[in-house]
Every structure is written in C-alpha cells, then in structure tokens.
Structure 1
Amino acid sequence: MKEYPKIEELLEYSNDKQAFKSLSSRFSQCNGERFSIMKFRIEKSALERANTRPANPLVDRTLEPGEYVKLYDENLERTIMSNSPMEFYTNYEFIKKCRGDVLIGGLGLGLVVLLAEKKPEVKSITVAEKHLEIIRLVASQIIFNSKVLIEHSDIFNFASQRRYDTIYFDIWDDVCAANYDEMKRLRGKYAGYLNDGGWMGCWSEDECIKAGSGF
C-alpha cells in the first residue's frame, strides 16, 4: 500500500518551500568577473502547466509565478543555482535531515545554509567553497549566523580536522552519470569523517544513478 506524507510533514514542507522562495528578496543583482547574482521573474502567462498535478505534493516541482534569484556562471553561460521549486525539492532531504555539526561542499547562493542555520538541532555549519568570488558575492548580500563558517577550499581537497553528524555535497549544476563518479569519490574520502549514526548525501544522487543506467 502506497504511503503518503503525514499532514504535519506536508505543512512543514509547504512552509519551508515558501521560505526558500522568499529568500530572493534578500538579494540584489551584482556582478563579478565570472559569476553574477541575477533576479528574474516568472509570469503566470509564461508558465506551461500540466492539466493534472502529482498525487504526492512532495514531488511537485512545477514553477510558480513570482520573483526568483539565480547564481550565473558567465564562463559556462549557465545557471549554477537558483531558488526555484526544483532546487528546493532536490535539496529537501538535506534540509530535513541536517543536525549536529554539518559539513557542506559547495556554497552556491547559500540558500540551504540559511534554512539549515535556523534549525535548533544544528550546532555548526562548515561550508567548503572552491570559488572565492562566489564567497565574496554571497557575503556581500547575506549575513549568516554564528553557526556558519565558510572556508575557501575545494571539497575534494578540504583538510578537515574534525568529524561531522551531517555531510552534504552540492557542487554540481546538472544531472549526469559522470557526476556519480565524483559522488562516490567524495563519499569514500569523507566516510571516516562521519560520526556514528550520521547522514551523508549528495545533490540529485538518485537522478545521476538513473542517468547512468539509462532509465
């Protein structure tokens, strides 16, 4: 028999989703040499919606009208991260499960950090970000609370001196089979840094596995 989320879970999901979307109001447009923070709007008239909606609201990834923010890579000419419903959905497992001392690979716009730092069960958050320009752009817009420490470091080379209760890797901007090879490398590298009973995850890992299997 198919199980559906409890009403409390749906309410929490809905509240977190709205909070994620509203974070665009905390940003202004700014440009760096390679990366830019951009605001954009989705108008209702531009949306192509299906006639039916998913039976389980937790898999609803449809765009909604409103203002959004994105981190754009001028070199690659593509969006690295945004606060779209898809981004929220694909990061939601981490948002739900993060606790204790947390390590995150990849800062992006810092949106998941903003939601994680509010959780009372989260004690500290260490973020390893490869690009100093991204750190400076986000730091010019957002003030994180005292739980958060951002390190200028590639997560593949980050030399941690401690163990964590939650480890999350979010360094990819698309879904493909090649990403899964990197995910396995990172899981292997950091397995010894995870406390007993802790949780480790990667952004869109299941989708990358499916991409590699051809399904």
Structure 2
Amino acid sequence: MTRIEVNIPEGISGNYMIRHYTRETESRYWKMYLEMKNEIHDNHTVLIKDGCRMPIMQDSEAEYNEHQWLWDNATGDVLIGGLGIGMIHQALIDNPNVTSVTVVELEQDVVDLVWDHCAKDDSFTLVVADFETWSPPEGSSFDTVWGDTWLVDNSLTMKDYRTLITNKYSEYTTNIGFWGHS
C-alpha cells in the first residue's frame, strides 16, 4: 500500500479550506469517501471547496493510485494542471527522469493555502491561470502533461474535459494523462 502524506496546515481562503480529517471526522461525505475507496489510514490532509460535497483532494492511498499514469510516465519537462495539496510534488522531485515541473492552478485561494507549504525545488514553476484556457509561452514543449483540474462543478463532462485538454495541449506534447485514468 502506497501513499504520499503531506503536511499542509489547516486554513481557509475564500471558498477553499485545508482540513486534517481522521476516520472519526463527522462528515457524511468523508465517511462515504473512506468506505467507497476502502481507505485504511487514520489521518489525512484534505482540500475542500464550498459547494462540493466530496473533498477535492486528499493524501489517501486511493488518490495515490488514481495518479498511477503519472507515476509511470513522468519524464523530462512536466506540465501539471492543478496544484491540489501538492501531493505529487515530492515524487516528481525524487524522479531522476523529471527535469522541470510547471504547475498551472486557477484558484489563488488554493495557491495561498498550499504553495508555501508543499514540497518543491528550483525545478518548479507556478502559473496562476485556468488550465483549460491557458496557453504555454511560444516555443514551449512538454514531455509529459497531466490534467487534474476537473471538478464535479465543471460545466464539461469528464469525457469532454479530457477531449478539450488533449486537443489543447497535443501541440505541446505527445504524452497526456489524466487523474483517475490509466
């Protein structure tokens, strides 16, 4: 069983919050998540958005497994759509095949809660922009692109989101993967 634990302090910024949940946390949707994912760990760092019933991201074993495509394919210059709780950063730092990481995050509130506390080194660049509409600088190319910005309140279906991101970034890479899809 593999999991990457993060140490982001609890806090609130705008419509977003970081919470430290346990198996005993009184949240119907958290308990549903734990049961649905068969999560066995006791303590989690959780990113929550007002209006979303389920957490956006958590440092769970299930979340780690939903990033398997990234673990298997990250190489060279990596473009990441979505900061989340920065869970993937240490694995990218530890990967000798990764040379740079560009993270595109739409929500300044998420940046304010997470960026100063998550793992990163000089190879990381943060861009505050919408991954669905952001255009990389002219001449950019990436060896790996990872799309992890779709939320249940997105106007696009997950399938339409994957099509949009694939079409948008295919001129910059031939290697595109998405959260939850291998």
TM-score norm. by structure 2 comes to: 0.83
State the 1:204 CA deviation: 2.1
The DSSP-based 3-state class of the residue aligned with 2:166 is helix
Matched, 1:165 2:147: no
In the alignment of these two chains, the number of paired residues is 170
2:160 equivalent to 1:184? no
The code of the aligned residue for 1:190 comes to Y
Amino acid in structure 1 at the alignment position of 2:17: S
Tell whether the 8 Å contact from 2:86 to 2:115 is kept in structure 1 after alignment.
no
Please tell me whether residue 32 in structure 1 is matched to residue 8 in structure 2.
no
Aligned residue number for residue 91 of structure 1: 67
Judge conservation of contact 1:79–1:173 (CA < 8 Å) in 2.
no
How many angstroms does 1:78 deviate by? 3.5
Deviations 1:1-37 (A, max 9, x none): xxxxxxxxxxxxx4xx24x1x32xx222111121000
Indicate which of 54, 58, 63 corresponds to 1:82: 58
Provide the C-alpha distance between the structure 1 equivalents of 2:92 and 2:124, rounded to a whole number of angstroms: 10
Summarize the alignment of residues 43-122 of structure 1 with structure 2, pairs less than 5 Å apart: 62-122=38-98
Shift of 1:77: 4.4
Residue 143 of structure 1: how far off its partner (Å) = 4.6
1:48-67 deviation line (CA, Å, top 9, x unaligned): x99xxxxxxxxxx5311321
- Residue in structure 1 matched with residue 23 of structure 2 by the alignment: 42
Deviation at residue 41 of structure 1 after TM alignment = 1.0
For 1:113 and 1:173, the matched residues in 2 are separated by 20
Contact 2:69 2:178 in 1 (8 A): no
- Corresponding residue for residue 55 of structure 1: none
- Unpaired runs of 5+ in structure 2? 25-30
Greater RCO structure (CA 8 Å; 6+ sep): 2
Alpha-carbon shift at residue 130 of structure 1 (Å)? 0.6
SS for the counterpart of 2:43 is strand
TM-score in terms of structure 1 length: 0.71
Shift of 1:178: 1.4
**If you compute each CA radius of gyration, which structure gives the higher value, 1 or 2?**
1
Consecutive unaligned residues of structure 1, counting only runs of 5 or more, are: 1-13, 51-60, 207-215
Structure 2 CA distance for partners of 1:84 and 1:173, relative to 1, 3 Å: farther
Secondary structure of the structure 2 residue equivalent to 1:128: strand
What's the CA shift string for 1:151-178, capped at 9, x where partnerless? 001012212120000001001245x991
SS of equivalent residue, structure 2 residue 56: strand
Q: Return the match for 1:148 from 109, 112, 124.
A: 124
Q: Identify, as 1 or 2, the structure richer in helix.
A: 1
